[in-house]
Amino acid sequence: MTATSSVPGTKPPRLVISSGRALHQESAALKRMVEEYGQTPHGGSLHVTEREAWKAAPGHSQRAHRRRLWQYGMQLCRLILVNVYDHMWSTGRLLGADDSIPLYSHHTLARVACEGAARIGYLLDPAIGYEHRLLRSAVFALADADARVTAAREVTTHPLLPHAADEPTRRRDELLDLIERAGITIRRNGRQQPTHFEVGAPPVVEPCKTNLTELVKRFYPDRPGTYRSTSGVVHSNPWVLNDTVTSSPFTPELVLEPDVQGIGAATLTTIDASIIVVESYARYYGHDPAPAVRKSRSRAQVIDGLLREWITKPLGR
């Protein structure tokens, strides 16, 4: 649902129009820069070093399995990148659509971009080495396999689908076997559930569960509370939804007032997500992210200025 002005022909606030334009430009820049980095990896970069690192595995039988895990991590980054790009582009499109202003959906779209960028930043972290990245790839692969099994088990009660979980379970078992064949030790709890992965000597250790909320806090230190707000929209919590419905609950008519301030905040968070992805890819492929990041921050400064103006000068809207 969207809100439109009660006065025909009235344009949306400048903050909304500028947010749509900024995200349109940002999504195009994100795609262009990541493609450029990936097509021209610099010698000595993490990517160039790690794509051959599987050859140094201590056991010959481990090499192919390590290579597959590393390739899985790279492919996962590409998939998440496309998801971030799609939601960023869609937010820009949504905010630039005629004279209608979204009520909540910009928060939902921003949340996906926010989470995805944090995952990419975590996996391509330049501060970790090949073995640590291998473990994080394995963690994400196991999380995906577990999610497939869980989804399949939910339909096994249907009389026509009693074996729906068989194939996902088999694939999950094959993944765990591949992880062990790659020379990775799987630590388990009393119920034999994987809890940690270990590799190397001294061992590099990675927990099998990633705390996404903490991950987002780490990558968005300047946006405290943003993730909680988007979560409130996703889960339809009244403390987030209340402000947009200004009519009485005892009247049938819905009077809607868009959260323009929230649109500005969601736009800034989405641009932050783009910066995280650009910096992660640039450093992984040996490029300097500064030129692209400066342009992104310039777009963010425009939105930040308009947002401050919206908050401090309500009579001038």
Tens digits of per-residue pLDDT, 242-258?
Answer: 888 888 888 888 888 88
Residue 185 φ/ψ, nearest 5 degrees: -85, 130
CA 242 vs CA 7, 12, 86, 235, 275: distances in Å? 23, 21, 28, 13, 31
* Res. 148: pLDDT tops 50: yes
**55 neighbors 49 (Cβ within 8 angstroms):** no
Query: Binning pLDDT at 50, 70 and 90, where does residue 6 land?
Result: very low
Query: Binning pLDDT at 50, 70 and 90, where does residue 133 land?
Result: very high
Q: Kindly report the number of other CB atoms within 10 A of residue 91's CB atom.
A: 29
**209 neighbors 176 (Cβ within 8 angstroms):** no
- Largest interatomic CA distance in the chain: 73
Q: What is the pLDDT of residue 3?
A: 57
Q: What is the pLDDT of residue 9?
A: 59
Place of tokens 């992805």: 277
Place of tokens 């599987």: 54
* Res. 209: pLDDT tops 70: yes
Report the C-alpha gap between 238 and 244 in whole angstroms: 10
**271 neighbors 303 (Cβ within 8 angstroms):** yes
